[in-house]
A and B are shown apart, each in its own frame.
Chain A
């Protein structure tokens, strides 16, 4: 029998993978993909809770999260393209002008 805890643990594993990816990788695009992975993990726990609690709100929130993720992907990738045009790299160690 698959309970809500199974889904939440899976969601936690995927979120942790996203966090580790953000910390480990140096390529801005892959860091961005790891952020998408974290958003997906949170969506999974939303839907699991919605199913478990017989509620519809979780699914609606996933709908809004997806919209925000789409907007974020569009703007974020545009920023990466703009940075690449100026610096010829997307390695975040080389993009450190604003580092104190």
Chain B
């Protein structure tokens, strides 16, 4: 069951990723990216990360992609514009480089680098307390400083976005 779900969702994620790259219309590209993100959220649930899965759908598929679609529709892009590609010869080397890059990653994965020390948060322990509660506890104890810095980051980003998008100050 788990294996079938993994393979189906992996296939959906990769297929929508491919469509994202080769789709001419930016709106469809954004929708394919949403599909990829939702299938990755299902994989998070398979990996027992329920909180991250919910946040993935709310923040990524919800907020960020709505922002993308909003900007795409706001700019009212001409689909034909990309037809005049200044570097058409870049495509084949780009794909070849991508394949080479993937090969390098696979070589790294085949080596014995993936032997870390196992922690204390086993699946049974996480389920006895609850994934969200554990993350909340850690965020407000061990990771309090990064958590607070995150709020400053979001604040600065909001101010920066307003500054950039405003016509005149």
List A residues at the B interface (Cβ < 8 Å): 1-2, 4-10, 12-21, 23-27, 29-30, 32-34, 36-37, 40, 43-44, 47-51, 53-57, 59-60, 62-64, 66-75, 77-82, 84-85, 89-91, 93
- CB pair A67–B13 under 8 Å, yes or no, is no
In the complex, whether B3 has a CB less than 8 A from a CB of chain A is: yes
Q: Chain B's nearest CB lies how many Å from the CB of A44? A: 6
Whether A60 and B77, one on each chain, are in contact in the complex, defined by CB atoms closer than 8 angstroms, is: no
Within 8 A of A (CB), among B23-65: 26, 29-30, 33, 36-37, 40, 43-44, 46-49, 51-52, 55-56, 59-60, 63-64
Question: When the two chains form the complex, which single residue of A19, A25, A60, A67 contacts B98, counting CB atoms closer than 8 Å?
Answer: A19
Beyond A59-B135, A60-B143, A74-B161, whether A54 also contacts B118 by CB under 8 A is yes
**A56 in contact with B63 (CB, 8 Å):** no
Task: Give, as a whole number of angstroms, the nearest-CB distance from B29 to chain A.
Answer: 5
Contact (Cβ within 8 A) A37 B33: yes
Interface contact B101-A37, CB-CB below 8 Å: no
A98 → chain B closest CB, angstroms: 16
Assess the B20–A77 pair: CB atoms within 8 A.
no
Asked whether A82 and B165 contact (CB < 8 A) given A40-B40, A47-B47, the answer is: yes
Partner of B135, one of A8, A34, A56, A75: A56
Contact B21 A90 (CB under 8 A): no
Which residues of chain B (125-169) have a CB below 8 Å from chain A?
A: 126, 131, 134-135, 138-139, 143, 146, 150, 153-154, 156-158, 160-165, 167
Query: Which residue in chain A gives the minimum CB-CB distance to B114?
Result: A4
Interface size class of chain B, counting residues whose CB lies under 8 Å from the partner chain: 35 or more
Interface string of B57-75 (1 = CB under 8 A from A): 0011001100110011011
By DSSP majority rule, is chain A's interface helix, strand, loop, or mixed?
Answer: helix
Cβ of A78 to closest chain B Cβ, rounded Å: 4
Partner of A63 from the list B52, B82, B163 (CB cut-off 8 Å) is B52
Interface residue from A24, A78, A93 paired with B164 (Cβ < 8 Å): A78
Contact indicator A7/B43 (Cβ below 8 Å): yes
Chain B residues contacting A17 (CB-CB under 8 Å) are 14, 17-18, 20-21, 98
CB proximity of A8 to chain B, nearest CB, Å:
6
Contact of A19 among B85, B101, B154 (CB under 8 A): B101
Please state if A63 and B135 are interface contacts (CB–CB under 8 Å). Answer: yes
**B43 and chain A: residue at smallest CB distance:** A44
Query: Looking at the complex, which one of B44, B102, B134, B164 makes contact with A16 (CB distance below 8 Å)?
Result: B102
Give every chain B residue within 8 A of A43 (Cβ-Cβ): 40, 52, 56
